[in-house]
Amino acid sequence: MKIYKFLVYITVLFLLLFVNITSNAEVFHIPADKPTIQAGIDVAKDGDTVLVANGVYKGEGNVNIDFKGKNITVKSQNGPEATTVHCLSEPNTRGFIFQNGETNDAVLDGFTIRYGIHDNGGGIYCNNGSPTIKNCVIEWNRTVKTDNVNGRGGGIYCFNSDAKIIDSIISHNSAESAYGGGVYFDGDSIIDGVFVRETVSEPSLLRCTISDNTGSGVHVHSFVLPQLKNSKILHNSWGGIVCAFFNTNGTNITHCEIAQNTGAGVSAREYSILNITDSIIKQNIAKEGGGINCGPTASIYVSECVITENIATKFGGGINIDSTRGEAKISYCTITQNTASEKGGGIYVWSQTSFSLTNSIVWGNNTEVSHDDAFIQQDLFANITVINCCIKNRIQDIALIFQWDIANIQGNIHEDPLFVDAEGGDYRLKPDSPALAMGAYSTFDEIVSVTSVGKKVVLWAELKQN
């Protein structure tokens, strides 16, 4: 009984302390209480809120705004449509800075940030700071070259950051290097040969639109484990999502629409690992791998995806895999209506290690030369698996070179999968389809281009109308 009373006493004491702490949280109104946003931050303490009235904020105190390590909320009263941080295209000027160990409890909510110019992070700069950025519009910002080093992250730059970017639009930004015209994620675990971080950074993009940026939409570089979910990556000029340079922890893409990017929808290279699930990859264009391009040392794992209407001016309209050290696994995907100028309208594979294609539909793709649907070429000791797939041409026709004693080829069919309406972009299967156990069966409805029962992709013309 004494122990019980003691626990009750401690619990009540804790609750009273919590109520006291939260009741002491203050709200500073800008400009009523303080003249600038920075002035409000300067007097705020952890847990406080800086509430910003409608208006266009510019000049000293309203640009290069530094959270200074404080876990506070800086919020507009009426959202990004009513509240703008305007950097006036002045050099060395950006919107917000997080560089002093801020956590996800440091919240930036509801601003438009535009016309910033800086070396890294034209709109927002996160270096060893991990804020939550939500309900923001980051647009028309850019990076510039400094000391012969190209700037990165036109919209947002994150280095060693677990930043959460939620419900935001990042568009029409540009990067001098083309790396991360929209968003640039970077991390370092080793500096000058010394191990400096126990864990890799884990930034995330949730329900965001990354569009019309000059440079890659999202660029992931070394020792980062980003999560991209329920987002749209559209119309970017140097690839939709690029994973490069020892991004060996992996980039996870789930429930995303990746469309109409130039330089591949998604690409992985330089010892990177890429996981793509339940996503639509369509109408992208590149020299190799219009939809997905996997470089020699990278590894990709793709499942439950619709890959359609992509174009390669050389190899691999839907997917290009050039693997000398990595591996590639494709499962439960629908790969259709992609085009390559030379070979592999649907898939082009040159593998020296491991490639598997299982339970997928590769149908109705085109090339100007040969192997409309799939071209698979293996090195002498490569491990090739093609199981339970629906491929338009007979399996013997998909490869130029096969070492049949090593390759695992079984259970494949070459019958029409009977899409509901392929010309209309509806890649669901009719009830009498011979491929009912194959292809993508996405059930998510976060992306407007996918029906709640999966696999209906809107036409390009419909996108333009919207």
Q: What is the pTM (predicted TM-score) of this model?
A: 0.87
pLDDT of residue 464: 31
Last residue of a domain, one of 203, 238, 273: 238
Last residue of a domain, one of 186, 217, 238: 238
User: Same structural domain for residues 254 and 234?
Assistant: no
Residue 217 in domain: yes
User: Same structural domain for residues 365 and 309?
Assistant: yes
What gap in Å lies between CA 357 and CA 409, rounded to an integer?
A: 10
User: Same structural domain for residues 217 and 302?
Assistant: no
pLDDT of residue 151: 85
Helix (H) or strand (E) run with residue 55 in it: strand 55-57
Q: What pLDDT digit, counting tens, does each position of 115-144 carry? A: 999 999 999 999 999 999 999 999 999 999
Q: What percent of the chain has pLDDT over 90?
A: 64
Going by C-alpha positions, the residue among 180, 245, 265 that lies closest to residue 214 is 180
Q: Which one has a higher pLDDT value, 64 or 10?
A: 64
pLDDT band at residue 145, thresholds of 50, 70 and 90?
Answer: confident
User: Same structural domain for residues 150 and 261?
Assistant: no
Residue 1 in domain: no
pLDDT band at residue 452, thresholds of 50, 70 and 90?
Answer: very low
> Does the pLDDT of residue 34 top 50, yes or no?
yes
pLDDT of residue 330: 95
What gap in Å lies between CA 208 and CA 41, rounded to an integer?
A: 26
Going by C-alpha positions, the residue among 296, 298, 250 that lies closest to residue 276 is 250
Residue 10 in domain: no
Q: Which one has a higher pLDDT value, 408 or 397?
A: 408
Cα-to-chain-centroid distance, residue 83 = 27
What gap in Å lies between CA 81 and CA 156, rounded to an integer?
A: 19
Which DSSP symbol is given to 454? S
pLDDT of residue 9: 56
pLDDT of residue 403: 52
315's CB contacts (< 8 A; 6+ apart) are 288, 289, 340, 342, 343, 344, 348, 375
Residue 397 in domain: yes
Last residue of a domain, one of 207, 238, 269: 238
User: Same structural domain for residues 79 and 190?
Assistant: yes
User: Same structural domain for residues 282 and 218?
Assistant: no
Residue 6 in domain: no
User: Same structural domain for residues 196 and 261?
Assistant: no
Strand partners for 336? 308, 363
Check if the beta carbon of residue 274 is closer than 8 Å to that of residue 250. Answer: yes
User: Same structural domain for residues 214 and 254?
Assistant: no
**Residue 8: how many CB atoms within 10 A of its CB?**
10
> Does the pLDDT of residue 400 top 60, yes or no?
no
Q: What pLDDT digit, counting tens, does each position of 6-23 carry? A: 455 565 555 544 444 445
Calculate the alpha carbon distances from 246 to 154, 163, 268 in Å: 22, 20, 10
What gap in Å lies between CA 351 and CA 337, rounded to an integer?
A: 24
pLDDT band at residue 343, thresholds of 50, 70 and 90?
Answer: confident
Q: Residue 10: helix, strand or coil by DSSP?
A: helix
> What residue has token string 């020296």?
352
Q: Considering Cα of 331, then 337, then 338, then 342, what sign does the dihedral take?
A: positive
User: Same structural domain for residues 313 and 215?
Assistant: no
Domain range enclosing 428: 246-466
Residue 184 in domain: yes
Mean pLDDT of the chain: 85
User: Same structural domain for residues 180 and 250?
Assistant: no
What gap in Å lies between CA 384 and CA 378, rounded to an integer?
A: 7
pLDDT band at residue 462, thresholds of 50, 70 and 90?
Answer: very low
Residue 31 in domain: yes
Q: Which two tokens stand for residue 285?
A: 């264009």
User: Same structural domain for residues 222 and 288?
Assistant: no
pLDDT of residue 23: 53
What gap in Å lies between CA 183 and CA 295, rounded to an integer?
A: 22
User: Same structural domain for residues 52 and 191?
Assistant: yes
Structural domains of the chain, count: 2
Residue 22 in domain: no
Q: Residue 354: helix, strand or coil by DSSP?
A: strand
Q: State which of 29-43, 292-306, 362-376 shows the largest mean pLDDT.
A: 29-43
